[in-house]
């Protein structure tokens, strides 16, 4: 019997908590996107937008300006990619505040995010250089082929491990501090209050600071770094002469 036609496979389907939280975040974002789409369809284009639509329009405007500013001509559609990646990244870093497991603690989540960037890098390179794309592996001469084949994976590995490391280190440090504080609180208040309830007094005083640093600040900075690296890695795949030509063309139009 085929493994996938087995009706009992859903009983053994047992994803970890991180994957479920990632799916929950994706669901929230899809619902938000549908709501914004309906709002944008129903809105009167002659009136000033308000509420949620105003916020989203502001974000789209800012991201388009950002991609234009950093990537230059030829990448007009990348604002949409960033608008999809940024909320997911930021929410998955900061969802630890409400007590859910951070999706970044599972290697699959940062790996798939970095894989998107990796595929886009090579797609952009192929789009601009066509068959000369394969020349990058024998650059400067064929002796460098194994080194180039190894260094091809460096951005993928470093981006994956950067996010994974940040998530898991924050989680490990916070759980260490939590267990230490719980033991301390039990040893202080254990004589006054019986049972397991004596361990909860010190934890809420110290850990909010750690959550603010490891979840909010670190999550924000890592989101920014991931977005910047994605944008810069993709933009550097465009050869210089194409950029020069585009600049010349825009200058000629400006002169006219």
Partner 1 sequence: MTDLGMRAIAAAIAIFGAGASSIGEGLLVTKAIDGMARNPEMYSKLRSSMIIGAALVETCGIYALLVAILIIFAL
Query: Shortest distance, CB of residue 16 to partner 1, whole angstroms?
Result: 16
19 binds partner 1 (CB under 8 A): no
Q: Does 124 bind partner 1 (CB under 8 A)?
A: no
d(CA 219, CA 213): 9
**Cβ atoms of residues 109 and 22 within 8 Å:** yes
Does the footprint of partner 1 cover residue 153 (CB under 8 A)? no
Of 181 and 227, nearer to partner 1 (C-beta) is 227
Which residues have CB under 8 Å from 215's CB, separation 6+? Answer: 93, 94, 96, 97, 102, 170
Of 93-101, 124-132, 159-167, 204-212, which part binds partner 1 (CB under 8 A)? 159-167
Binder among 168, 177, 203, 210 for partner 1 (CB under 8 A): 168
180 binds partner 1 (CB under 8 A): no
Q: What radius of gyration, in Å, describes the C-alpha atoms of the chain?
A: 24
Determine the Cα–Cα distance for residues 224 and 221; give it in Å rounded to an integer. 5
Does the protein bind partner 1 through residue 122 (CB under 8 A)?
Answer: no
- 187 lies in the binding site for partner 1 (CB under 8 A): no
What does the H/E/C string look like for 94-163?
Answer: HHHHHCCCCHHHCCHHHHHHHHHHHHHHHHHHHHHHHHHHHHHHHCCCHHHHHHHHHHCCHHHHHHHHHH
* CB-count exposure of residue 6 (10 Å: 0-12, 13-18, 19+): exposed
- Binding part of the chain for partner 1, among 12-20, 62-70, 142-150, 165-173 by CB under 8 A, reads 165-173
**Interface pick for partner 1 out of 221, 244, 248, 249 (rule CB under 8 A):** 221
Give yes or no for residue 172 binding partner 1 (CB under 8 A).
yes
Residues that bind partner 1 (CB under 8 A): 158, 161-162, 165-166, 168-169, 172, 221-222, 224-225, 228
């Amino acid at each position: 019997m085929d493994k996938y036609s087995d009706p009992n496979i859903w009983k053994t389907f047992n994803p970890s908590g991180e994957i479920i939280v990632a799916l929950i975040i994706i669901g929230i974002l899809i619902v938000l996107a549908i709501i914004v789409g309906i709002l944008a369809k129903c809105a009167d284009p002659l009136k000033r937008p308000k509420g949620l639509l105003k916020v989203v329009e502001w974000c789209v405007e800012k991201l388009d300006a950002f991609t234009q500013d950093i990537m230059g001509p030829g990448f007009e559609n990348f604002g949409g990619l960033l608008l999809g990646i940024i909320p997911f990244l930021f929410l998955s870093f900061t969802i630890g505040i409400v007590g859910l497991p951070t999706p970044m603690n599972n290697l699959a989540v940062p790996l798939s995010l970095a894989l998107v960037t990796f595929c886009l890098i090579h797609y952009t390179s192929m789009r601009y250089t066509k068959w000369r794309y394969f020349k990058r592996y024998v650059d400067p001469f064929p002796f460098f082929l194994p080194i180039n084949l190894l260094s091809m994976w460096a951005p993928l590995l470093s981006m994956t491990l950067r996010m994974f490391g940040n998530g898991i280190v924050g989680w490990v440090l916070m759980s260490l501090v939590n267990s230490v504080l719980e033991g301390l609180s039990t040893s202080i208040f254990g004589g006054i209050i019986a049972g397991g309830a004596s361990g909860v007094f010190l934890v809420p005083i110290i850990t909010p600071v750690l959550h603010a640093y490891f979840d909010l600040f670190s999550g924000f900075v890592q989101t920014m770094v991931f977005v910047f690296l994605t944008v810069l890695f993709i933009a550097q795949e465009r050869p210089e002469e194409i950029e020069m030509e585009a600049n010349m063309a825009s200058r000629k139009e400006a002169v006219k």
